[in-house]
Amino acid sequence: MKLIINDTISIFEIQDQFSKKYPFLKIEFFSQPHDIHVGSRKENLIPANLQLKDCRKKHNEGTIELEPETTVAQLERQFQEIFGLYIQVFRKSGNVWIETTVTDDWTFAKQNDEAESFYQEMENIKRNDPNPPI
């Protein structure tokens, strides 16, 4: 999968492209960097309706190749080093989204597969017990 990065694209458009490939993952953009295995502060979250030109200092254009074997840490580093953008990947866990800080070394395939498996388990529990204690 190729993510196209330029000043006129919005954060939402990148998020939308990404979630079509990885429906159990999402990317959020932040105004401040974070270290590997460290979360981002909610108050630094950038609204999805902004264009990239409004939230970065490096105005490079290009693409990022996102392969299933790419790790979260690799993608976060690419966004920061090449495009001056600070991203955080989140994985769906039940009804909530969790930052992948502890699993930054996992590939996108593994992140998405784990989240999908958890979702399937939750669905099976719901089918077998309409009032689960979750």
pLDDT in tens, 69-105: 999 999 999 999 999 999 999 999 888 898 988 888 9
> Quick one: what percent of the chain has pLDDT higher than 70?
96
Closest CA to 25 of 121, 122, 106: 106
Average pLDDT over the chain reads 89
- Phi, psi angles (nearest 5°) of residue 10: -95, 160
User: How does pLDDT run across 13-34, given as a tens digit for each residue?
Assistant: 999 999 999 999 999 999 998 8
Position 24 scores a pLDDT of 92
Position 54 scores a pLDDT of 95
Position 134 scores a pLDDT of 55
**Token code pair at residue 57:** 């200092």
**More confident call, 36 vs 98:** 98
Residue 50 CA, chain-centre distance (Å), reads 17
Whether 37 contacts 102, CB under 8 Å: yes
- With tokens 């295995």, the residue in question is 37
DSSP string, 111-133: HHHHHHHHHHHHHHHHHH-SS--
Q: Is pLDDT of 127 > 90?
A: no
- Any idea where the domains of the chain sit in the sequence? 2-128
Mean pLDDT of all residues in 48-54: 96
Closest CA to 105 of 83, 72, 132, 81: 72
The separation between the first and the last C-alpha atoms of the chain, rounded to the nearest angstrom, is: 35
